[in-house]
Amino acid sequence: MIASVDLRLCIPAASLFWNGNVTTMHSRILQLPVRAPISRLPIAARLSIRHASTAAPQTPSGRSRWTRRLIYASIFGALGVAAGGVLDSKISLPPQPGSPEDQIFMKEIQRVYERGLPIVQELRNNPDYEESGVYQGMPETSKAHRLTSSALAGSRGIALQRVFSNDKEKKVVSVVYLGSGLEGWPTMVHGGALGTVVDENMGRAAIRHFPERTGVTANMNINYRRPVYSGLFYTFHTRLDQERSTDRKAYTICEVRDLTGQVCVEATGLFVVPKNFKLASIGDKF
C-alpha cells in the first residue's frame, strides 16, 4: 500500500543541515508532502495508517437486531398457530351428529344458507319453484338406515340439503353443504360421496315424474370437470329429458355448480319403475 505522508514527521532534524548551514532548497523540498512506501515509515505511522484503512463498518445496534428478531418470531409464530389449527381441523374426529359441538356448526351453516346465498333468494322469489326439506314424512327408523341421513349426516357430512322443485319445467335444484368429512383428498370432496348426492338429486326429478312416486337407478354416468372443495355450498341442477321419458323410464341430466355458476360435475341418469318388484312409494318430499 502507498500512502501520502509528511516526511517532516519522519526525517531527523539533523538531516536538514549541510556543512553547518541550512540548505534552503532542501528545506523547501522536505516541506512538500510526497508519496513514499509505507515500509519506509516509522512503526507508529504505519500502524496509524493500517488502522484507518482496515476499520470495520459500523454494525446495527443490538436493539435493532432484537427488534427484527421479535418481528420475525411473531410472524412465523402466527403462521404456525394458523397451520396447526387447520391441521387439527383436518385430522380431528368429526363431532357426533346431534352433539353440542355439532349443533353449533349446524346453526352457523343454516345461518349462511338463510342470509348469505343469493341463489336461495333467487329461487324463493320464483313462483315456479317450491322449497322443501329432504326425507320429509319419512319415519325416523327409515332415516337411520339411509346413508345420507345417518352415516353422512352432521356438520362435517351432508350438513344441509334444501330442494327447490319446478313441476312446470320438470326441474329440481338442490342446495347442498358438503362438509370436510366427505373428503377423499385434503380439501376435495370424494368422488363417490359426490356421486351419491348426484344420484339422489336426479332421483328426485325422476320420482316426481313417475305416477307411482317411486323408482330405482338403472344407469348413471358422471364426468368430473373441476374439483369440488369441502366446507362449501354447491347447487345440483337436474332436469328431466321429457322427450325420452315415459311413465316407467325417466332420463335425467344434472350439473353440479359452485356459487359462481361454474360447472364442476356433469351427469346423466336413467331411472326405472320395476315391473316384477313392488316398491314402496317415496312421495314428493324425497
> What does residue 11 show for φ and ψ, rounded to 5 degrees?
-90, 135
At residue 243, the pLDDT reads 95
Model pLDDT, residue 23: 43
Computed on alpha carbons and rounded to an integer, the radius of gyration of the chain in Å comes to 42
With helix as H, strand as E and coil as C, how does the chain read? CEEEECHHHCCCHHHHEECCEECHHHHHHHHCCEEEEHHHCCHHHHHHHHHHHCCCCCCCCHHHHHHHHHHHHHHHHHHHHHHHHHHHHHHCCCCCCCCHHHHHHHHHHHHHHHHCCHHHHHHHCCCCCEEECCCCCCCHHHHCCCHHHHHCCCCCCEEEEEEEEECCCCEEEEEEEECHHHEEECCEECHHHHHHHHHHHHHHHHHHHCCCCCCEEEEEEEEECCCCECCEEEEEEEEECCCCCCCCEEEEEEEEECCCCCEEEEEEEEEECCCCCCCCCCCCCC
Question: For residue range 131-172, what is the model confidence (pLDDT) as tens digits?
Answer: 999 988 777 787 788 888 888 989 989 999 999 999 999 999
Global confidence as pTM: 0.68
Lowest mean pLDDT among 5-9, 47-51, 258-262: 5-9
Q: What is the pLDDT of residue 83?
A: 58
Query: In this predicted model, what pLDDT tens digit does every residue of 22-66 receive, in sequence order?
Result: 444 444 444 444 444 545 555 555 545 445 445 455 555 666 777
Q: Kindly list the structural domains of the chain, giving each domain's residue range(s) and its CATH number in brackets, ordered by start.
A: 2-53 (no CATH), 92-272 (3.10.129.10)
Q: What is the mean pLDDT of the chain?
A: 79
Q: Residues 106-129: pLDDT tens digits?
A: 999 999 999 999 999 999 999 999
